[in-house]
């Protein structure tokens, strides 16, 4: 039986000069699934839509936005998604050196982000409707910043679990904040302007505090 191997893909909106920072965006997925992620993936496309809408304000501030497309759809225990994200962070370091990075993750992307936040370039994680189940490790957030935003109408991931995770993360992080964004669901479509505003405001806030 043959096995198809793929590499994670990056969609980049770079600045005209060397960027002062990078926001690395990580899209959602599902608990299990070994299907390849391609341009038809709704999880990837939702985050790609957000990237297109917030790229210009980042660029005007000298910040590049890179969107990682995971190799496979599922979390599948996490190891492969974490490896994808670490490979993207290695790309940032190889090309740009020690530039500060904010991880901006939706759902599974936020779950991935909190596991790779210990990278030397990462200053913090902004999680949108994050998937942070009971017992998820907070260790990689030691000395970093976390801002997690969740809607009260999310039926896919748990705002209560996110709030509990933030409380645990506060024991090791420089700062850990939970934001209730009101009656919004999971998929970043309804209330898109609100989600975009959170992504921009909290990313810039972390970079200012760096």
pLDDT, tens digit (0-9, with 9 covering 90-100), for 38-47 = 988 999 999 9
Q: Measured between alpha carbons, how far is 190 from 196 in angstroms, rounded to an integer?
A: 11
- In the chain, domain spans: 9-209
- Asked if 63 and 22 touch (Cβ cutoff 8 Å), the reply is yes
Give the pLDDT confidence score for residue 7 in this predicted structure: 59
State the pTM of this model. Answer: 0.95
Give the pLDDT confidence score for residue 8 in this predicted structure: 75
- Residue 185's closest CA among 162, 157, 160? 157
pLDDT, tens digit (0-9, with 9 covering 90-100), for 94-152 = 999 999 999 999 999 999 999 999 999 999 999 999 999 999 999 999 999 999 999 99
Specify the CATH number for 9-209; select among 3.20.20.20, 3.40.50.1820, 1.10.3720.10, 3.40.1440.60: 3.40.50.1820
Q: Measured between alpha carbons, how far is 36 from 75 in angstroms, rounded to an integer?
A: 12
């Amino acid at each position: 039986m043959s096995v198809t191997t793929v590499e994670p893909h990056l969609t980049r909106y770079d600045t005209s000069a060397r960027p002062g920072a990078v926001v690395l965006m990580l899209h959602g997925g599902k608990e299990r699934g070994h299907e390849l992620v391609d341009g038809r993936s709704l999880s990837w496309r939702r985050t790609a839509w957000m990237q297109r809408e917030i790229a210009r304000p980042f660029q005007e501030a000298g910040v590049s936005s890179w969107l990682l497309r995971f190799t496979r759809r599922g979390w599948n225990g996490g190891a492969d998604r974490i490896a994808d994200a670490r490979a993207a962070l290695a790309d940032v370091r190889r090309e740009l050196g020690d530039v500060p990075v904010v991880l901006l993750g939706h759902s599974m992307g936020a779950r991935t982000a909190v596991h790779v936040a210990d990278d030397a370039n990462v200053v913090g994680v902004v999680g949108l409707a994050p998937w942070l189940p009971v017992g998820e490790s907070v260790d990689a957030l030691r000395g970093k910043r976390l801002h997690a935003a969740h809607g009260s109408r999310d039926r896919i991931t748990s705002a209560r679990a996110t709030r509990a995770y933030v409380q645990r993360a506060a024991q090791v992080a420089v700062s850990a904040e939970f934001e209730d964004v009101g009656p919004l669901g999971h998929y970043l479509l309804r209330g898109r302007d609100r989600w975009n505003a959170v992504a921009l405001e909290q990313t810039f806030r972390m970079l200012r505090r760096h």
